[in-house]
């Protein structure tokens, strides 16, 4: 039996056909069970040239936003992050990333068809011995959950409300790269990371080191415990996170970080990339009064 073919729940049926079309079955199950997954460049349909374009554009956006020069990312020692950069009128490569269809199939599986891209965060992570000693985020990131950004209660509805999609722009294949660490199945714990469990050196939780080549997207649920190691290799780890939420989630204090100036997007740009409006939550359809809840709609 193929349930999708029965066409009783169109919201999910179309996601299921995309999961098949893009070969995402393992990613989908990992995301729902372990709470995280890595979609490879091949799965996402991006090649080395695209990844290079994306990385260069990310570095350029950081430089422009901060009016600084990063220099050669292979030798630079900058450590910094920036949220909510308005990237879409800087370079079309950011739009191509935002509307990547294989990635969106997984986003919509977890957050429903009306999932909204809320923030873009660029993280440039240089060698820890160049980062300030009290900049703990780049020495040893404590275990934490991202749900806290929106104040989403960990038990909320037992469905995923937030998804971090981190575009990996430089390889993260060993400890020296300063990779993310994740606690498998921790999104089911039902509470956040307790303070005395947050230090990697003492935590009782098992962690998995993220292993991802440049051009991959690492995804984890808002309730998945994670952390990151300090970078010990020369040069920068370059990433750009797209953070998505369900359409009805807007954390009061998080809102100020949300992608600003959406109105700045030109009609020409929006008509060139018709899918972008939906991804940014600018084309929400009005639903009837109190329709039955559908976690995939």
Ligand X SMILES: O=C(O)CCC(=O)C(=O)O
Q: Where on the chain is the footprint of ligand X (CB under 6 A)?
A: 123, 141, 146, 164, 180, 226, 228, 241
Q: Which is nearer to ligand X, 55 or 226 (CB)?
A: 226
Q: In angstroms, what is the minimal distance from the CB of 195 to Fe ion? A: 16
Distance CA 271, CA 141 (A): 41
Verify binding: residue 177, Fe ion, rule CB under 5 A.
no
Q: Which is nearer to ligand X, 120 or 164 (CB)?
A: 164
Q: Using CB under 5 A, count the residues that bind Fe ion.
A: 1
Query: Candidates 101-109, 139-147, 192-200, 252-260 — which segment interacts with Fe ion by CB under 5 A?
Result: 139-147
Sheet holding 226-228, edge to edge: 141-144, 226-228, 180-182, 208-209
27 binds, among ligand X, Fe ion, none (CB under 5 to 8 A by kind): none
Backbone angles phi, psi at 48, to 5 degrees: -60, -35
Asked if residue 141 lies in contact with residue 131, where contact means CB atoms within 8 angstroms, the answer is no
43 binds, among ligand X, Fe ion, none (CB under 5 to 8 A by kind): none
Verify binding: residue 242, Fe ion, rule CB under 5 A.
no
Q: Which is nearer to ligand X, 146 or 150 (CB)?
A: 146
228 binds, among ligand X, Fe ion, none (CB under 5 to 8 A by kind): ligand X
Q: Which is nearer to ligand X, 144 or 277 (CB)?
A: 144
Q: In angstroms, what is the minimal distance from the CB of 63 to ligand X? A: 20
Distance CA 248, CA 115 (A): 9
Q: Tokens 């009782």 correspond to what residue?
A: 204
Q: Tokens 């460049």 correspond to what residue?
A: 41
State both tokens at 208.
């998995």
122 binds, among ligand X, Fe ion, none (CB under 5 to 8 A by kind): none
Distance CA 141, CA 239 (A): 15
Q: In angstroms, what is the minimal distance from the CB of 107 to ligand X? A: 16
* Positions 140 through 159 that interact with Fe ion (CB under 5 A): 146
180 binds, among Fe ion, ligand X, none (CB under 5 to 8 A by kind): ligand X
Q: Which is nearer to Fe ion, 43 or 150 (CB)?
A: 150
119 binds, among ligand X, Fe ion, none (CB under 5 to 8 A by kind): none
Q: Tokens 């260069």 correspond to what residue?
A: 56
123 binds, among Fe ion, ligand X, none (CB under 5 to 8 A by kind): ligand X
Q: In angstroms, what is the minimal distance from the CB of 148 to Fe ion? A: 9
Residue 69 CA: distances (Å) to CA of 63, 66, 82, 237:
6, 9, 15, 16
Asked if residue 233 lies in contact with residue 62, where contact means CB atoms within 8 angstroms, the answer is no
Other Cβ atoms closer than 10 A to 240: 25
Distance CA 246, CA 226 (A): 21
Q: Using CB under 5 A as the criterion, which residues of the chain lie in contact with Fe ion when the complex forms?
A: 146
């Amino acid at each position: 039996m193929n349930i999708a073919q029965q066409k009783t729940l169109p919201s999910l049926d179309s996601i299921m056909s995309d999961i098949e079309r893009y070969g995402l079955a393992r990613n989908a199950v990992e995301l729902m069970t372990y709470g995280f997954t890595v979609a490879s460049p091949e799965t996402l349909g991006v090649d080395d040239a695209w990844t290079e374009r994306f990385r260069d554009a990310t570095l350029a956006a950081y430089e422009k936003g901060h009016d600084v020069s990063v220099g050669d990312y292979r030798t630079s020692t900058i450590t910094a992050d920036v949220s909510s950069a308005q990237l879409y009128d800087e370079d079309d490569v950011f739009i191509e990333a935002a509307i990547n269809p294989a990635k969106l199939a997984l986003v919509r599986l977890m957050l429903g068809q009306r999932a909204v891209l809320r923030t873009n965060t660029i993280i440039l992570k240089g060698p820890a011995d160049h980062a300030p000693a009290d900049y703990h985020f780049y020495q040893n990131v404590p275990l934490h959950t991202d749900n806290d950004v929106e104040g989403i209660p960990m038990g909320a509805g037992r469905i995923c409300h937030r998804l971090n999609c981190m575009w990996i722009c430089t390889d993260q294949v060993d400890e020296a790269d300063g990779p993310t660490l994740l606690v498998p199945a921790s999104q089911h714990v039902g509470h956040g990371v307790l303070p005395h469990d947050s230090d990697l050196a003492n935590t009782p939780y098992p962690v998995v080191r993220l292993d991802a080549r440049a051009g991959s997207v690492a995804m984890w649920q808002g309730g998945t415990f994670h952390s990151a190691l300090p970078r010990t290799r020369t040069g920068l780890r370059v990433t750009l996170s797209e953070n998505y939420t369900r359409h009805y989630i807007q954390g009061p204090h998080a809102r100020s970080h949300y992608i600003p100036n959406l109105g700045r997007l030109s009609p020409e740009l929006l008509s060139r990339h018709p899918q972008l409006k939906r991804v940014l939550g600018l084309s929400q359809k009005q639903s009837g009064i109190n329709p039955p809840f559908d976690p995939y709609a």
